């Protein structure tokens, strides 16, 4: 009679490193038993056949052997609907067609039915069988050559013994059942979905494979504070881990990803930087995916106390009039989306404070540009404009995230507007001279760069909204800003060193200089001009330039975003070091102490700045900064001259590590712990096992 395919049995528990394939029965033909002189048993509902047993009443003596692939079992042969059991395991006979046997088999089949809601726990015998046949290849253990040879020889002997025993058991069962050996042709494995003898073969269902468990060393650890990372193209070179690279190199790679791939950093700096716009059209709408979305904005508003004016502006530009519609208080999602639905634009001034993806982008770029890197995002409804034409005092990179937006750029109207140091007021359309130098519609994934002083205006096209981020940098970071810092320092230094600068002014100076005398050129005026220029040249010294650059770097330490610690270096910093044992006697035992054998380096190249001011040596740093701009005062530590030598060595050796014992500081451990507690260094412990701990009260 025809047998019916039964439900798959419950998956047995499989140890790590093993997978299990459940056999699925297919229809097979068998001869019916001959007439019996016994009184037939009470008619019962025909049970569903189990994949591992023949149906009740089936004659197994003349049944043909099915190919293994028809039962979904790879590497074994099913005999009479039964999976052969390896030598040493007791088999189950299906030759007894008695009612008690049928009743028992029916109960087994019904217990294995998925519709019952209960899965029958397989016997240990079945589990051993499946594990033996379908164990996944294990990862080789790290052993010596001799150990590998011994294991290989033992494994070969075990395989030979198991194969011989299985073959003998298989042959014995064939002789008992009177069946013919399976031919090579019929034992070929069929692929899932193919047909064998006109019937579809049973493949390997996804639920029948148990994924091997991973050991602790195989599991890739994730950051303790999960973050949404973006693909910025960062990669170590020559096998170097990303967090071991120079932070300036990582920033450069991030910038290359932002403007690439068609434009290199060298080409951009040579051709476009502070000179002319750059348009990158990628035809890849997902290039900046993960940086920002409307859903992320909504979630940000629900989970943070974000305020109008301080963080977000609601704006509109209609009929040549720019207006701001900010109410007071917190920005709530229903209110913001209502403004957006009425045609207003949304500008956020500091998304890096609340969105980890924007923060990660900016914190990497600031290392490469050595200055504060900020960001705004702009959400504009279809067919509208939120801002009047204007120019800014920053280098602008527009990253189109969603939708489409039309941009029009205009060149500076006067030489004073080129590379402007101060942003303009709102301009009228009649104040724009000449046609735009660029008129383009940005699509999602595109980038547009334009320098300081470039007049611009943008509006969405009908039927399409726009969401973009403007990454900004180089605000108040030009030569004039350096000279503003340098001249007071230079004058104070030169006045102390040059007696000529302390001489009194000539009595007739007022008679030769001033607006009244500016058009004249008397002999005395010419003589005084030569003298003033000679004294002015004495102001410029290397010390004055060094001091001015230190002041700009000090300002950067206050402006900068706090560093983003990579997970690869997490455990080697104060943020992730948590191997402490709190003992009953009140002491705390550190399992990974800092000692003379430890190696240290700065966390980032620009993580601190050594400055001489007010007759003191200080290091300014930004690890304690907030992601909100200037929320706290500038952070600094005062040093003596000996300790400053240790800081100087760490700065010059970055990104290489320095052995603590080689630092030119008398109290080296106290010095390193001071930097460690502020999160300024990465510390590697010695590789020796069993290093002594440190007890602290």
Supply the pLDDT for residue 90: 40
Nearest to 690 by CA among 579, 572, 592: 592
Cα 318 from chain centroid? 41
Supply the pLDDT for residue 168: 54
Nearest to 403 by CA among 342, 445, 440: 445
Supply the pLDDT for residue 41: 45
CATH number for the domain whose boundaries are 545-684:
3.90.930.40
311 pLDDT higher than 50: yes
Segment 568-597 mean pLDDT: 84
Integer Cα distance of 252 and 264 in angstroms: 11
545 pLDDT higher than 60: yes
Task: Find the distance separating the first CA and the last CA of the chain, reported in whole Å.
Answer: 83
Integer Cα distance of 526 and 532 in angstroms: 10
Domain boundaries, the chain: 244-477, 478-503+535-540, 545-684
State whether the Cα torsion 235-239-242-248 is positive or negative: negative
Distances, alpha carbon 622 to alpha carbons 121, 167, 442, 660, 662, in Å? 60, 73, 36, 23, 26
Integer Cα distance of 56 and 45 in angstroms: 11
- Going by C-beta distance under 8 Å and a sequence separation of 6 or more, which residues neighbour residue 539? 487, 490, 491, 494
Supply the pLDDT for residue 389: 98
- What pairing do the DSSP bridges indicate for beta strands 694-696 and 608-613? unpaired
- Report whether 56 contacts 102 (CB < 8 A): yes
Supply the pLDDT for residue 396: 98
Q: Fold identical between 244-477 and 545-684?
A: no
Integer Cα distance of 340 and 347 in angstroms: 11
State whether the Cα torsion 202-206-208-209 is positive or negative: positive
Report cis status (omega within 30 of 0) of the bond before 261: yes
Distances, alpha carbon 505 to alpha carbons 497, 508, 512, in Å? 18, 9, 13
Exposure string of 33-64, with b = 16+ CB inside 10 Å and e = fewer, is eeeeeeeeeeeeeebbbbbbbbbbbbbbeebe
Structure tokens at 187: 């034992």
Mind listing the pLDDT tens digit for each residue in 170-196?
Answer: 454 444 444 444 433 333 333 333 333
Supply the pLDDT for residue 354: 98
Integer Cα distance of 251 and 254 in angstroms: 5
299: three-class secondary structure by DSSP: helix
Mind listing the pLDDT tens digit for each residue in 75-129?
Answer: 333 333 333 334 444 444 444 444 444 444 444 444 444 344 444 444 433 333 2
Distances, alpha carbon 362 to alpha carbons 397, 444, 561, in Å? 12, 20, 8
> For the chain, what is the mean pLDDT?
75
Segment 423-437 mean pLDDT: 94
- Report whether 403 contacts 462 (CB < 8 A): no
Mind listing the pLDDT tens digit for each residue in 260-286?
Answer: 999 999 999 999 999 999 999 999 999
Integer Cα distance of 312 and 353 in angstroms: 12
Check residues 522 and 222 and name the one with the higher pLDDT.
522
Mind listing the pLDDT tens digit for each residue in 390-401?
Answer: 999 999 999 999
Give the residues across from 638 on adjacent strands.
618
499 pLDDT higher than 70: yes
Integer Cα distance of 513 and 531 in angstroms: 14
Check residues 228 and 575 and name the one with the higher pLDDT.
575
User: What predicted TM-score, i.e. pTM, was given to this entire model?
Assistant: 0.67
- DSSP codes joined into one string, 502-523: GSPPPTTGGGT-STTTTT---H
Exposure string of 171-204, with b = 16+ CB inside 10 Å and e = fewer, is eebbeebebeebeeebeeebeeeeebeeeebbee
Check residues 192 and 252 and name the one with the higher pLDDT.
252
Identify the band that residue 234 occupies on the pLDDT scale cut at 50, 70 and 90.
Answer: low
- Report whether 678 contacts 621 (CB < 8 A): yes
CB atoms within 10 A of CB 608: 27
CATH of 244-477, one of 3.40.50.300, 3.40.630.30, 2.60.120.650, 3.10.20.30: 2.60.120.650
302 pLDDT higher than 50: yes
Angle of helix 641-653 relative to helix 668-677, nearest 10 degrees? 60
Mind listing the pLDDT tens digit for each residue in 597-624?
Answer: 999 999 999 999 999 998 899 999 999 9
Integer Cα distance of 445 and 287 in angstroms: 5
Check residues 285 and 5 and name the one with the higher pLDDT.
285
- Report whether 403 contacts 465 (CB < 8 A): yes
Distances, alpha carbon 285 to alpha carbons 89, 289, 615, in Å? 61, 8, 56
């Amino acid at each position: 009679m025809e047998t019916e395919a039964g439900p798959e049995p419950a998956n047995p528990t499989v140890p790590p490193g093993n997978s299990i394939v459940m056999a699925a029965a297919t229809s097979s033909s068998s001869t019916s038993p001959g007439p019996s002189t016994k009184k037939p048993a009470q008619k019962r509902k025909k049970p569903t056949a189990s994949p591992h047993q023949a149906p009740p009443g089936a004659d197994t003596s003349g049944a043909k052997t099915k190919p293994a692939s028809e039962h979904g079992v790879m590497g074994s042969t099913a005999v009479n609907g039964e999976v052969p059991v390896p030598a040493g395991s007791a088999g189950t006979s299906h030759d007894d067609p008695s009612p008690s046997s049928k009743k028992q088999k029916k109960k087994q089949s019904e217990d294995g039915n998925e519709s019952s809601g209960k899965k029958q726990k397989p016997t240990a015998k079945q589990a051993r069988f499946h594990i033996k046949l379908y164990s996944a290849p294990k990862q080789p253990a790290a052993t010596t050559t001799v150990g590998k040879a011994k294991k290989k020889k033992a494994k070969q002997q075990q395989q030979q013994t198991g194969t011989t025993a299985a073959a003998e058991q298989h042959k014995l069962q064939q002789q008992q059942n009177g069946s013919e050996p399976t031919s090579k042709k019929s034992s070929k494995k069929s692929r899932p979905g193919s047909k064998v003898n006109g019937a579809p073969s049973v493949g390997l269902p996804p639920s029948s494979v148990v994924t091997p468990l991973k050991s602790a060393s195989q599991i890739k650890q994730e950051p303790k504070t999960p973050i949404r990372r973006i693909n910025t193209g960062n990669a170590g070179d020559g096998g170097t881990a990303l967090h071991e690279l120079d932070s300036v190199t990582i920033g450069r790679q991030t910038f290359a990803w932002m403007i690439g791939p068609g434009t290199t950093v060298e080409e951009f700096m040579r051709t476009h930087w502070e000179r002319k716009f750059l348009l990158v059209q990628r035809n890849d709408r997902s290039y900046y995916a993960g940086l920002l979305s409307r859903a992320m904005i909504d979630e940000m508003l629900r989970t943070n106390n974000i305020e109008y004016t301080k963080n977000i502006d609601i704006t509109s530009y209609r009929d040549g009039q720019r207006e701001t519609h900010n109410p007071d208080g917190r920005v709530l999602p229903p209110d913001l989306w209502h403004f957006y639905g009425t045609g207003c634009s949304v500008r956020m001034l500091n998304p890096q404070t609340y969105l980890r993806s924007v923060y990660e982008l900016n914190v990497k770029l600031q290392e490469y540009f050595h200055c504060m890197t900020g960001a705004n995002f702009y959400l504009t409804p279809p067919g509208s404009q939120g801002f009047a034409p204007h120019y800014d005092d920053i280098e602008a990179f527009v990253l189109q995230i969603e939708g489409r937006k039309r941009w029009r750029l205009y060149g500076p109207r006067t030489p004073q507007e080129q590379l402007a140091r101060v942003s303009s007021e709102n301009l009228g359309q009649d104040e724009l001279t000449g046609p735009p130098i660029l008129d383009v519609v940005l699509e999602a994934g595109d980038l547009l760069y334009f320098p300081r002083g470039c007049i611009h205006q943008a509006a969405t096209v009908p039927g399409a909204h726009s969401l973009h981020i403007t990454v900004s940098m180089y605000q108040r970071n030009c030569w004039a800003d350096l000279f503003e810092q340098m001249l007071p320092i230079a004058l104070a230094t030169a006045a102390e060193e040059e007696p000529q600068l302390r001489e009194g002014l000539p009595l007739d100076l007022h008679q030769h200089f001033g607006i009244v005398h500016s058009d004249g050129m008397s002999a005395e005026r010419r003589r005084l001009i030569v003298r003033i220029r000679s004294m002015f040249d004495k102001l410029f010294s290397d010390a004055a330039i060094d001091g001015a650059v230190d002041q700009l770097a000090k300002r950067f330490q206050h402006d900068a975003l706090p560093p983003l610690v990579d997970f690869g270096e997490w455990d080697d910093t104060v943020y992730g070091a948590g191997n402490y044992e709190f003992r009953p006697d009140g002491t705390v035992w550190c399992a990974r102490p800092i000692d003379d054998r430890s190696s240290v380096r700065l966390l980032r190249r620009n993580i601190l700045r050594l400055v001489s001011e007010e007759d003191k040596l200080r290091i300014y740093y930004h690890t304690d900064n907030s992601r909100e701009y200037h929320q706290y005062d500038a952070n600094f530590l005062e040093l003596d001259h000996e300790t400053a030598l240790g800081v100087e060595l760490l700065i010059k050796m970055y990104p290489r590590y320095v052995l603590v014992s080689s630092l030119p500081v008398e109290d080296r451990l106290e010095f390193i712990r001071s930097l460690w507690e502020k999160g300024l260094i990465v510390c590697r412990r010695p590789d020796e096992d069993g290093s002594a701990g440190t007890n602290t009260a």
